[in-house]
Amino acid sequence: MNRDLHLSNSLGNKKEKFEPLDIKNIGMYVCGPTVYDDPHIGNARPIVIFDLLFKVLKCKFGKETVTYVRNITDIDDKIINSAKEKNISITELTEKITKTFHDDCKYLNCEKPTHEPKATENIELMIKMIEDLINKKFAYESEKHVYFKVKNFKDYGKLSNKKLDDLIVGSRVDISENKNNPEDFVLWKPSKDNEPSWPSPWGKGRPGWHLECSAMSKKYLGETFDIHGGGRDLIFPHHENEIAQSVCSNNKKFANYWVHNGFITISKEKMAKSQGNILKINSFKNKFNGQVLRLALMSSHYRQPLDWNDQLMEECYKTLDKWYSCYFKLDKKILINEEDLLPLYDDLNTPGYISVLHKLFDKAKSGSQKDKENFIAGCNFVGLLHDSKEDWLSFKKRKIEITEKEIASMIDQRNEARNSKNYALADKIRSELLDKGVLIEDKDGKTTWKIK
């Protein structure tokens, strides 16, 4: 059997054998959160997927050989606007959401990355990169803004496999009379009087979002590194722009492997504020052990869409409840049979690995102590069965203290909120119902519910 690690590389859109630049110094950079609002279940998918890839890389190449960098964007237009809406300071908002993000990572049993740099701590690096791009004629200043000259980078669009004109049409390209061309993207922008700002050769301002990752990945991983990861929605324009500015500044290839996870839908519908179906990770914490969410997020191959629904949650809950019947705490480290890990070596085939766990469980039920140890070690490797049995049982179904009349009333209130486009209120009501053990589903224009 093939024991090499293979990953699907979005740059070229094919599965490739993973060959590190330096087998003793492997680097992975993953785009982290923009801390303007509590993370939702769509944000949870890359958190878990790249935590899993981090584990696989360390297992395959050695614990001390892998450096995992995941940034925190703590300055951005979304953050400024959110702070204004909430009538709190930007610092208060970013600290609060960053803490929530870390709590969510712990809830999902994710390891801490090797480094977690914040954008605001690396502004000087970004300014130096901008100056370098201007000197090399890849950027220009206009009315205290600095823009990247997209047409000067001949490989623009290579990651998304589209021509420049195709990428611009229908995309979220900022329109500004300050630009030489509509496709040019901002590297630096002036700040208003009441907004965060840093001194620069172009006046007080702040960096563009795309630039932040280029500067921070270079700081921690060098000009060229092994793996760059994130959600599929980041391919264009974020990752496309990262490649452009990094290659033009460093005159070297940026990242060798681009790994992107697919989207999450909610009961076959796109998750969006306009749908009123944003599921915050926070909303699950009073009713579900985080392992249920973790297993659900691994139930589909990371590159494929994942539909989040009641049935998925129920199946994962039942699976873990069954597995916990064989649980005991390992008092020593158990080496996992490499043959059991082969599905994960094959482009993180988590459904295949879950099948392996089912087989190990079947052996553990009536097998030897060694069989039980192998099963628990296999679960522990992917972040499952890490809580005690008592902790797991504490998340068993709880008594529901809400009447059907109250449920119907809350659903009516939520529908009214959605119709008036008060999506924040609609999300709040959904979360309140979930806290009371009531799962709701929007389908074909109707809202149904059931007790969890």
Task: Please report whether residue 178 resides in a domain.
Answer: no
388 and 404 belong to one structural domain:
no
Check which CATH number belongs to the domain holding 313 and give it: 1.20.120
pLDDT band at 440 (very low <50, low <70, confident <90, very high): confident
pLDDT at 267: 84
**pLDDT digit string (tens) for 338-366?**
999 999 999 999 999 999 999 999 999 99
> CA-CA distance, 416 to 447, in Å (whole number)?
12
Task: Report the range out of 200-204, 407-411, 436-440 with the highest average pLDDT.
Answer: 200-204
Say what the pTM is: 0.87
Task: Please report whether residue 269 resides in a domain.
Answer: no
Exposure string (b/e) for 43-81, b if CB count within 10 Å is 16 or more? Answer: bbbbbbbbbbbbbbbbbbbeeebbbbbbbbbbbbeebbe
* Mean local confidence (pLDDT), 325-343: 92
Q: Are strands 225-231 and 26-30 parallel, antiparallel or unpaired?
A: parallel
253 and 374 belong to one structural domain:
no
80 and 221 belong to one structural domain:
yes
Task: Please report whether residue 259 resides in a domain.
Answer: yes
Task: Please report whether residue 439 resides in a domain.
Answer: yes
Task: Please report whether residue 297 resides in a domain.
Answer: no
Pick from 53-57, 86-90, 166-170, 322-326: least confident = 166-170
Check which CATH number belongs to the domain holding 240 and give it: 3.40.50.620
313 and 445 belong to one structural domain:
no
* Mean local confidence (pLDDT), 163-181: 70
88 and 218 belong to one structural domain:
yes
- Backbone φ and ψ of 7, nearest 5°: -135, 145
Residue 313 has pLDDT above 60, yes or no: yes
E strand or H helix at 139:
strand 139-142
Task: Please report whether residue 298 resides in a domain.
Answer: no
Residue 299 has pLDDT above 90, yes or no: yes
Task: Please report whether residue 27 resides in a domain.
Answer: yes
**pLDDT digit string (tens) for 213-262?**
999 999 999 999 999 999 999 999 999 999 999 999 999 999 999 999 99
251 and 127 belong to one structural domain:
yes
pLDDT at 399: 41
> CA-CA distance, 50 to 34, in Å (whole number)?
17
378 and 433 belong to one structural domain:
no
446 and 365 belong to one structural domain:
no
Contacts 24+ apart (CB under 8 A), 338-346: 338/3, 339/1, 340/374, 340/378, 341/56, 341/59, 341/381, 342/1, 342/2, 342/3, 344/52, 344/56, 344/382, 345/2, 345/3, 345/4, 345/5, 345/6, 345/56, 345/60, 346/2, 346/6
Pick from 31-35, 57-61, 91-95, 309-313: least confident = 309-313
368 and 221 belong to one structural domain:
no
Torsion of CA 343, 345, 348, 353, to 10 degrees: 30
367 and 313 belong to one structural domain:
yes
367 and 243 belong to one structural domain:
no
Q: How many folded domains does the chain comprise?
A: 3
**pLDDT digit string (tens) for 23-51?**
999 999 999 999 999 999 999 999 999 99
Question: Which residues form the domain of 68?
Answer: 6-138+162-172+210-264
416 and 382 belong to one structural domain:
no
Task: Please report whether residue 154 resides in a domain.
Answer: no
